Structure 1
């Protein structure tokens, strides 16, 4: 068998499990999705294979938790027809058009186009009624100047959060609360260990779409959500501010293996950790985690040898067709990851593609 274009990175307990028991759908109790905007296109095909072909072989309920694009993709993946929904999300994301400028009203218009492609009310109702999946998404409720929308106060709030985070993650607790909008049929067990106040709010047909939008509401780029039905008043922004690549040990108390399809071979806990490689989560924080990531060789084979990102909107500001062309190549190439994943699953050769974190 040729070298697969993906690998499994497993925490200590997960690595021991795979070495002795392999990996099967019935072993997975939670699936996590990270923030990262256009980066998600790199693993679109992997997510399709997992949710269309692999996880349907299980019969037990599985928690889904994500922030930002991770929340959006899991809202698609958890539906009755995940292949259709994930494709609509990907095509909508690729098709964004900012010829009128990248302003909050234009960004809102484009994101509502995407949302309406895969998560209108019938799909929201479907997601919340799934027997196999329980969907949850993370949102950051903001305080102080981060609750202001005027440019300068918001800038001061963002700068203050950066300084506080540099001193230690627990210092963010005056500016952020972690709010998990959760399926009330099966609320996840959570208890924060990182000093950030954490609460659960029940999802329902009236607030699901707003919660998903709030989870991806990037400061400056999008206006925050200020009113989410049946949730306390507040300023709700991108969940990635608190949980950029959600690290389960920081708040998740559900037992069992956590499957984590991801575009990078590392997890950075919060958005403010992007420039602090030392903050990458270590094996002790990822005990039950099984990350599924593309290899460096696969990434090098993509257009320009890199994972696409949100900065491409500026890189190709006057050549949107080229951006879309490259992103669509990445989307189509990502199907190779899904095919390879299913090939390994059929052969049961998990140990050969797994290494300890």
Structure 2
């Protein structure tokens, strides 16, 4: 498969490192995963190649951090049977069905079906005892109107957060705390460098499923988690509200290269930045990041020339078969991204494919 299906980008420090030393699996200190719901299917095959073929060639400990679907996929990738778990997650996600309409109870039912496919108690034990990988996920603990479920009150909270975010990320501190649920064997160094209060809570076999669900609990679509074993009482929602595409420079203080398989070539720090191109993360916040993303040519070859999107549930309402066909096509095509990455890795010619962030 041609490497033209894949784009590689690197922050300043990562670029200098690769030019001097190349890129080997033993150089990776952390792997990040972004929010984006169905968009993840676009890079499913890339994740499989990274966790089944490339990273197993090394032995160092590696942090895994994600929010929302990024948290879900890394909970699969961080298992000893990563390929099986990632496939179960992807197939479960594709097979969701809302023929009777989308509401919170039905969404909860469908998501529990997905979770049960790849993260029951034996898999949770496996994830938190992995000899190399240390799994962490980001969750937003909410305050004020964002801590309410009543439609108008929550809408007020969402609107207020939008306007506060326009003034600057630090103003979100009044409505959110960043909570990193982390493998207690190797707690990551984090801090609220963007002005958002940040704390670490330990994961356990008893709370990892709750934390994973909380990390993807989208307002209006899902009920928040109100009790996560071992953590303070609170209203826990989708970690993507704060860290939509987690930007290391905003909170991550662990040293070393950060591998970032992603479906775009840019990062939007928070959910409220989705329509603000000026908020795309700059190179200064991505110093040690190596981002791997599908090329425009690859995306053009997908059904409709588009990557899967959560809006497809409405777009193909009443026609699950067509949505599932398109999403499964994206999943199958994503295997080419993994092949392209492994081809570059075998050649060692990283500079020929690398661009600065």
After superposition, the C-alpha distances for 1:184-236 in whole angstroms (9 at most, x for unaligned) are 00000111111100000000011000000000000000000000001000000
CA contact (8 A) 2:3 2:343 kept: no
Take 1:105 and 1:169, find their aligned partners in 2: how far apart are those partners? Answer: 32
CA contact (8 A) 2:28 2:62 kept: yes
Query: What is the aligned partner in structure 1 of residue 191 from structure 2?
Result: 191
Query: What is the aligned partner in structure 2 of residue 94 from structure 1?
Result: 94
Runs ≥4 residues deviating over 3 A: none
Take 1:140 and 1:134, find their aligned partners in 2: how far apart are those partners? Answer: 20
Normalising by the residue count of structure 2, what TM-score does the alignment of the two structures yield? 0.99
Give 3-state SS (helix, strand or coil) of 1:193's partner: coil
1:14 counterpart = 2:9: no
Give 3-state SS (helix, strand or coil) of 2:200's partner: strand
Query: What is the aligned partner in structure 2 of residue 202 from structure 1?
Result: 202
1:163 counterpart = 2:143: no
Take 1:95 and 1:13, find their aligned partners in 2: how far apart are those partners? Answer: 41
Q: CA deviation at 1:49?
A: 0.2
Query: What is the aligned partner in structure 1 of residue 289 from structure 2?
Result: 289
Normalising by the residue count of structure 1, what TM-score does the alignment of the two structures yield? 0.99
Take 1:313 and 1:3, find their aligned partners in 2: how far apart are those partners? Answer: 32
Which runs of 5 or more structure 1 residues have no equivalent in the other structure? none
Which runs of 5 or more structure 2 residues have no equivalent in the other structure? none
Take 2:223 and 2:208, find their aligned partners in 1: how far apart are those partners? Answer: 18
Counterparts of 1:300-319 in structure 2, within 5 Å, are 300-319=300-319
Take 2:314 and 2:7, find their aligned partners in 1: how far apart are those partners? Answer: 32
After superposition, the C-alpha distances for 1:97-147 in whole angstroms (9 at most, x for unaligned) are 001110000000000000000000000000000011000000000000110
Counterparts of 1:125-274 in structure 2, within 5 Å, are 125-274=125-274
1:79 counterpart = 2:70: no
Take 1:330 and 1:222, find their aligned partners in 2: how far apart are those partners? Answer: 26
Q: CA deviation at 1:20?
A: 1.5
RMSD, aligned α-carbons: 0.7
Take 1:63 and 1:154, find their aligned partners in 2: how far apart are those partners? Answer: 34
1:327 counterpart = 2:331: no
1:53 counterpart = 2:53: yes
